[in-house]
Amino acid sequence: MWRYIFRRFMQGILLVFLVAAIVFFLGRFTGNPADLMLPEDAIEADRVALIEALGLERPMHEQFAIFVRNALRGDLGESIRYRQSAVEVFFSRLPNTLMLIPGVMALALIMAIPLGILSAIRRGGIIDRLSGTLAVLGIATPNFWLGILLIYLFSVQLGWLPSARMGSWQHYVLPTVTLGTFLVAGYMRLIRSSMLEVLDSEFVKLARIKGLSETVVVWKHCLRNALLPVLTLWGVFLSGLVTGAIVTETVFAWPGIGRLTYEAVIFRDYPLLQAVIIMDAVLILFINLLVDILYAYVDPRIRLTN
């Protein structure tokens, strides 16, 4: 099992490295990298200092070496807007985003698992068709518009829930629903198709032949197998979650790393954007590793080989 984990870890490191390299090159190739990284009111002395520090007039591979060296020390540049280390800004906002995650995951699992299972067991039935329609709608509706629509309905018209920023538990509701929608839709379809596949498998037939009741067959034998793809495809969902977080936090003015990304774009704060992207890659590496460990533990075929 550990060899599997190690391999996945190395793949993750490769990803971080690739991302950093791409970010680096994109920054250096656009004519005037120094201008990109300096605030508008920078004086000539600042410019010179920056060029010196990052070696902007030296050949590319040397610049990259400096970049990597700094990165390993935790220095990914200084945010133009915040006048602080970009990495520091990132970590100061990260907890706010992390606070949203449990709610979103809970929503996704509580809704997707039962709906997915019931849709598969009673294929073509009312629940199947209803949830299918909801899923299709959920995927077609753009995240940002859903958020605004929800604000309009629940904040403006009904006045039940607040429309922006963090605060009490009420503040969590709309952002969680917005962010969670595509996750619910995606998971539900996945669990449904996974269940359908498992229900058709030989060992389920054998379980019925053994004389086990339908309940046991479904909830014990099918479920564990059907949920495995949820873990394997987690990486894809994580990617979508990050994207969704950017948009959702922007709509709800939620002070997390999603909104930070938006600010970096709007204010053309290149160093901050650079840091956010690379740190996102590290974050993704970390989370994927955790999921991989979980998956390796849950699937005995991986746990007990190699």
Is residue 191 involved in binding other proteins (CB under 8 A)?
A: no
Burial of 10 (0-12, 13-18, 19+ CB in 10 A): exposed
**x/- string (CB under 8 A) for other proteins, residues 213-232?**
xx-x----x--xx-------
226 neighbors 191 (Cβ within 8 angstroms): yes
Site for other proteins in 97-136 (CB under 8 A): 136
Is residue 202 involved in binding other proteins (CB under 8 A)?
A: yes
- Report the alpha-carbon distance of residue 38 to residue 48 in Å, rounded: 11
CB-nearer residue toward other proteins: 52 or 214: 214
Residues 6+ apart with CB under 8 A from 302: 1, 4, 295, 296
- Report the alpha-carbon distance of residue 97 to residue 112 in Å, rounded: 22
Q: Which stretch binds other proteins (CB under 8 A): 59-67, 94-102, 113-121, 238-246?
A: 238-246
Looking at 11, 84, 170, 232, which residue binds other proteins (CB under 8 A)?
A: 11
Minimum CB distance to other proteins, residue 63 (Å): 16
285 neighbors 179 (Cβ within 8 angstroms): no
- Report the alpha-carbon distance of residue 306 to residue 304 in Å, rounded: 7
CB-nearer residue toward other proteins: 88 or 299: 299
H helix and E strand count, the chain: 16, 0
- List the beta bridge partners of residue 78: 85
Is residue 205 involved in binding other proteins (CB under 8 A)?
A: yes
Is residue 301 involved in binding other proteins (CB under 8 A)?
A: yes
Is residue 139 involved in binding other proteins (CB under 8 A)?
A: yes
Tally of CA atoms within 13 A in the half-sphere of 270 that contains its CB: 16
Site for other proteins in 32-51 (CB under 8 A): 36
CB-nearer residue toward other proteins: 115 or 241: 241
CB-nearer residue toward other proteins: 12 or 108: 12
Structure tokens at 180: 């969670």
**x/- string (CB under 8 A) for other proteins, residues 56-95?**
----------------------------------------
Looking at 7, 58, 129, 268, which residue binds other proteins (CB under 8 A)?
A: 268
Minimum CB distance to other proteins, residue 71 (Å): 16
Number of residues that bind other proteins (CB under 8 A): 74
Is residue 14 involved in binding other proteins (CB under 8 A)?
A: yes
Is residue 143 involved in binding other proteins (CB under 8 A)?
A: yes
235 neighbors 288 (Cβ within 8 angstroms): yes
Structure tokens at 181: 């929608």
Tell me the CA distances in angstroms from 229 to 88, 113, 130, 258, 282, one per residue in order: 36, 12, 23, 27, 23
CB-nearer residue toward other proteins: 45 or 64: 64
3-state helix/strand/coil string of 77-100:
CECCCCCCEHHHHHHHHHHHHHHH
Looking at 264, 275, 291, 296, which residue binds other proteins (CB under 8 A)?
A: 264
